[in-house]
Amino acid sequence: MALLQIAEPGQSPQPHQRRLAVGIDLGTTNSLVAAVRSGLSEPLADAAGQVILPSAVRYHADRVEVGEDARAAASGDPLNTVLSVKRLMGRGLADVKQLGEQLPYRFVGGESHMPFIETVQGPKSPVEVSAEILKVLRQRAEATLGGELVGAVITVPAYFDDSQRQATKDAARLAGLNVLRLLNEPTAAAVAYGLDQHAEGVVAIYDLGGGTFDISVLRLTGGVFEVLATGGDSALGGDDFDYAIASWIVQQAGVSEDLDPGQQRLLLQTACAAKEALTNNATTTLSYAGWQGVLSREQLDALIEPMVARSLKACRRAVRDAGIELEEVEAVVMVGGSTRVPRVRQAVAELFSREPLADIDPDQVVAIGAAIQADALAGNKRGDGEELLLLDVIPLSLGLETMGGLMEKVIPRNTTIPVARAQDFTTYKDGQTAMMIHVLQGERELISDCRSLARFELRGIPPMVAGAAKIRVTFQVDADGLLSVSALELASGVEASIQVKPSYGLTDGEIARMLQDSFKNASDDKVARVLREQQVDAQRLLEAVEAALLADGERLLDADERVAIEAQMQQLRDCMAANDGLAIEQQTKRLTQITDAFAARRLDATVKASLAGRSLDEIEE
């Protein structure tokens, strides 16, 4: 527990016991899990020796199939086989329509605004589909590492908005994973390069995946990874190259654009194969529905040029946002399978006037970096003693709707997280007793051009003349990049707050149902597991408090406070002895609350100590 961890970062309470944690790259096309073993971060292979798990999920009436076999079945069973589900995460039906009629699924509406895919097993949300992929990776990790996982770092595109992040976290929850952190993919790649290749200075990470594009500019200094700016497009990736080739085929072959889902899948597979063939060849022959033709690399380059140009524009913007010039970028790193396309490499090299690096496999680098952070977060000390610090930013501005349908920015993009910022508003009508708070994300001025994250109402404002009330709205973004908002009327103390539940996220009801479904057959297991977890949590807290009391009890607590804490510790021990799960949970919570101020004082003391350049031990003398 944290009370203990003030000692030294990365130090495990029991140094001999390595705590198992993994990094997961949940990709559009492929997913991977990696872990640090014997000081080395590496992807974990399945029983057949395969590291990459295609992000394909096929629903059978009685089971779920994930990976290569599912992908192979996509054109034969298109309606029950979900590919590239990442593109649907945190999206509303309207967004999905915008992605085009390209998606060969039958969508149905759910309780929330999230689109559900109709399958042989009933409607499935993108969150559930993603959870299936995560479950397979979790099982693989537990089998390989030989134990239960403490948690996982899951990577997300840096440009993912709040809804997309929340959806990813929900999927991990459904898969039974404890999310240690959501980590931005380019930052994860930077960690891998920084630690294994000892990169230093200003580095740009160009990450073009199957469905998303990110560009991040970082400054690397001795284990500190400071993101200066990030940008991108959460709907631009290799899939779009495939669509461009597919529509070229349709044109050339003179076939109808009105395809059934099976034909559509086949067409996309043909397009994808042609794209891959052109990585090493100047031309490739392709055939589709009786038509045969040749696609040259020049033609491919022309087809994808608008998309490449879009990515370069995002690069220039990120460099500007970082407050530097293109020449100041000292290294460019390529991440994501789509950076294998020769035209992409060439364009990036031209923009930055330097050859991009691809020393670490672009398909694996994100998972490798994520595993390094997971290992550190789980409390395992790094072999080389180098301490990791990741300072990331929010990719998109956050703000509120104001009069006239305008967005007022509260936190601008590229602000370092965590961040908390408050802004004061007032009432505009006499006697107004309620105020609508509409939370938005985006760069445009009109609210209709921004993404609506949440709406909530502050009620019970005492009636006053217009402009007299002072309503303070506070935005807080945590280290996962997730937002919560609270509103407080300062004169009366009336308060309202929400953890932003994205408009396109799942409702609590939906999550409850899914969790129930997944535990249906394992309910006894679950009770036992929950009790065990409660016992472990309680024990850890007790040990942490004991250690903290020993270290700082004299210095930071008065006698009454100390007696209260010790009494509460005894209460908790009693419930643990009685194996009463509910009581353990309650008493653990109370012990946490009662030691709260103590924890805060210890943290303050550490900050002061580190300032003075002395260790805590020296101060205690």
Partner 1 sequence: MGTPCHFALFDLKPGFRLDLELLASRYRELARHVHPDRFADASEREQRVALEQSASLNEAYRTLKNPPQRARYLLALSGPELPLEVTVQDPSFLLQQMQWREELEDLHDSADLAGVAQFKRRLKVAQDELNESFAVCWDDASRREEAERLMRRMQFLDKLSHEVRQLEERLDD
Least separation in angstroms between CB 480 and partner 1: 9
Residues 149-178 that bind partner 1 (CB under 8 A): 150-151
Residue length of the chain? 621
Looking at 314-392, which runs of residues are DSSP E strands?
A: 331-335, 389-391
Q: Is 478 in the site for partner 1 (CB under 8 A)?
A: yes
Cβ-Cβ contacts under 8 Å for 335 (sequence gap 6 or more): 185, 186, 189, 205, 206, 207, 208, 209, 362, 365, 366
Least separation in angstroms between CB 602 and partner 1: 10
Scanning 25-33, 191-199, 558-566, 610-618 for contacts with partner 1 by CB under 8 A, the matching segment is 610-618
Task: Compose the 241-260 pattern: x for residues touching partner 1 by CB under 8 A, - for all others.
Answer: --------------------
Q: Is 498 in the site for partner 1 (CB under 8 A)?
A: no
Q: How many CB atoms lie within 10 A of CB 522?
A: 12
Question: Would you say 24 or 249 has its CB closer to partner 1?
Answer: 24
Least separation in angstroms between CB 594 and partner 1: 10
Yes or no: say if 435 and 425 are a contact pair by the CB < 8 Å rule: yes
Least separation in angstroms between CB 464 and partner 1: 22
Given phi > 0 = left and psi -120 to 50 = alpha, else beta, which region is 205?
beta
Calpha distance 473→464 (Å, rounded): 19
Residues 376-405 that bind partner 1 (CB under 8 A): 376-379, 387-391
Phi, psi of 599 (to 5 degrees): -60, -45
229 half-sphere exposure, CB direction, 13 A CA radius: 16
Binding-residue total with partner 1 (CB under 8 A) = 50
Q: Is 490 in the site for partner 1 (CB under 8 A)?
A: no
Least separation in angstroms between CB 19 and partner 1: 8
User: Using only C-alpha atoms, what is the Rg of the chain?
Assistant: 26
Residues 276-315 that bind partner 1 (CB under 8 A): 313
Yes or no: say if 361 and 233 are a contact pair by the CB < 8 Å rule: no
DSSP assigned state of 461: P
Calpha distance 562→595 (Å, rounded): 9
Q: Is 1 in the site for partner 1 (CB under 8 A)?
A: yes
Q: Is 446 in the site for partner 1 (CB under 8 A)?
A: no
Phi, psi of 201 (to 5 degrees): 90, -160
Q: Is 620 in the site for partner 1 (CB under 8 A)?
A: no
Residues forming the active site? 25, 86, 185, 207
Scanning 2-10, 30-38, 430-438, 512-520 for contacts with partner 1 by CB under 8 A, the matching segment is 2-10
Q: How many CB atoms lie within 10 A of CB 256?
A: 9
Q: Is 465 in the site for partner 1 (CB under 8 A)?
A: no
User: Which residue among 167, 541, 556, 569 contacts partner 1 (CB under 8 A)?
Assistant: 541
Question: Would you say 24 or 133 has its CB closer to partner 1?
Answer: 24
Least separation in angstroms between CB 223 and partner 1: 9
Yes or no: say if 71 and 53 are a contact pair by the CB < 8 Å rule: no
Binding site for partner 1 (CB under 8 A): 1-3, 5, 9, 150-151, 180-181, 221, 224, 226, 313, 316-317, 320-321, 373, 376-379, 387-391, 415-421, 476, 478-479, 541, 592-593, 596, 599-600, 603-604, 606-607, 610-612
